[in-house]
Chains A and B, each alone.
Chain A
Amino acid sequence: MGSATPMPMPNPTPVGTDTERGFKKAILRLVKGGPERLAIEAGQIDSIIDPASGHAILLPGAQRALIERKVGFRSLIGLAFDWYWEQDERYRFVSYRSATDEAAVFGEMGLIGKALWDLEIDNISDEDWRTHRQQLEWRIAFRELEVRREDGAGEVQYLSMSGEPIFDEHGRFKGYRGVTRDITERKLAQAMRQEPAGLANTMLNALGAAVGVLDQAGTMLASNQAWRALAATDPNIGGSAAEGTNFLEECEDAGVDERVDGVTIAAGVRQVIAGTRTLFQYDYACDSAKGRRWFALRATRVADHTAARVVISREDITERKHTELLLGLEIAVMRSLADAQSASEAIRSVIRIVCEMQGWDYGRYFRIDRSAGVLRYHDSWGIPTAAVNQFLDQSRGLVFSPDAGLNGRVFQSGQPLWVCGGTPDAGLSPMALAPETGRDGAFLFPVTSQDGIAGVLAFSGRNMREPDDRMLQTVHAIGNQLGRSLVRQQAQDALRRSEMRFRDLNELACDWYWEQDSEFRFTQIVGCSPFGAAEFLGMTHWDLPGVILTDAKWADHKSQLDARWSFCDFEFATVDAEGKHAYYSICGQPLYGEAGVFSGYCGTGLDITKRKLAELALRESEARGRA
């Protein structure tokens, strides 16, 4: 059997009414009862050849199968490549079509009318282009030509292109056609696999913490971008160590202020290198142009099959430390206020704590004189230097009216105010500020109570910086706490003064004060009593030696005590070893606990010897007169 001669192609999937008509006609032509007709009826036939048209007419089952096959084929094509393209005889792209509905990448390249080498492809050298063009000139099919480009967003894309020449029916070259696949994911994955070091670097650079790797001598082997950035902005203890330099030496060469931290860090890292510890952690502070900054250093030992390494990580923890310090300041202020015995002590204590914890030189408190409507200097604390003492001495007697100077402005506005680095606020000259800021900056905030502003706290020092929100929150809390404490202290001071006055008056009225327990035993005797010695504590009144009183009077007194009555002018006499008499009068009242339980007696005593002796002398004189 010879092979068939190619013929014009029939329509493989005739549809519509013409098809149906043709199909029926073809069926009718078949001999009834013939094998073809029987096979059709048995469902074993795919198509009927129409002798009139020469077309093969598909039966429904075959039509469906063909359609399904086409769809499946298209799907498989989509798996095989992403784009189909054609070029003209000058190798310019004239058409392209995506195998799927996705991926517009190929179109974004703007390739229509351009040759491949006109596109922005960055991985093929001029030499390689020449070779490729030579292949095209020779009309050779090319396979898997990999090109790399970056899109507008800087994303790298890898494309694999294959093509073959096309010719017309006369054998004339018409151009190329081919397919392209996006192989970006595969290429990137390959790159990652082939370059573990590159992957490690990428991961290292992705870390927010500054990370450096040391060898056993402390030499910096590698560092990430964060380390290098930190070295540029904050070259603190060991932080300026670059690759190839010795981290440990840099730490030990730290400036005077940072020497202790530098030496400590170097010693800790050496221990990690030696393997005597697996982890070294250290928090330290450094002064920089941006102010005081805190860092958390962590050194970890890692060992592989070649040699041990130490990974150093440094993290800027300034914000966290700052918050911790301010919280500590608030707590310290609260404790000092709780311990303060007077308003002045509270003020000085708060000023001292704030100065010490913030590194400021001195602070002053200006109290509001409501009657005069001005702020008056009240108290201060400063570091013990001559300059500070002199400045604080000059502050005594200072008075600010509202809106006068910084203090007056805080007094009037009720808001914190600051002057940093000697730069005065707008509208105030440095000369005008000198009495308020001293040599450096100043930070002022109101002290508030329920009645409004109670005063202004004004601090000065060299380390004055513009406060952040957390600092303002802290000074607001301190101002409130101090204000409330002052109100409480002032009330306590008034009470204390009142008690003092009462005691003074009491001392004028009596000679001693005494207390007894519920069994009438002395527990306390204060003042000039005839029983001042401690050995008499624990005795009852009637047990005391040398007391002269009749039994009837004792019985009367005891019955009063048992009845829990108050008593007054209970007089008795004592006689000492020399037989000398003294006379006393005592008053007392029962004491009750919080639950109303009787707990004893308290009272006062008065030496009435002079009066008694005078009375006795008078009586004797009267008796002599009558005689």
Chain B
Amino acid sequence: MNIIFLLLFFSLLIAVVFLGAFLWSNRDGQFEDVEGPAMRMLRDEQNKSTTNS
């Protein structure tokens, strides 16, 4: 069942890519604020209204 090695290889590859992404986002400060982004994303409608006025 050498195919299992192949699947493990690709699964682990994906896992390592995401581990890297996780560590990057932690170091980049993506997890510093775990409430603000949810509110910030609601915001663009108001943005439009100011440009119109």
Tell me, yes or no, whether A binds B: no
Chain B interface residues (CB < 8 Å from chain A): none
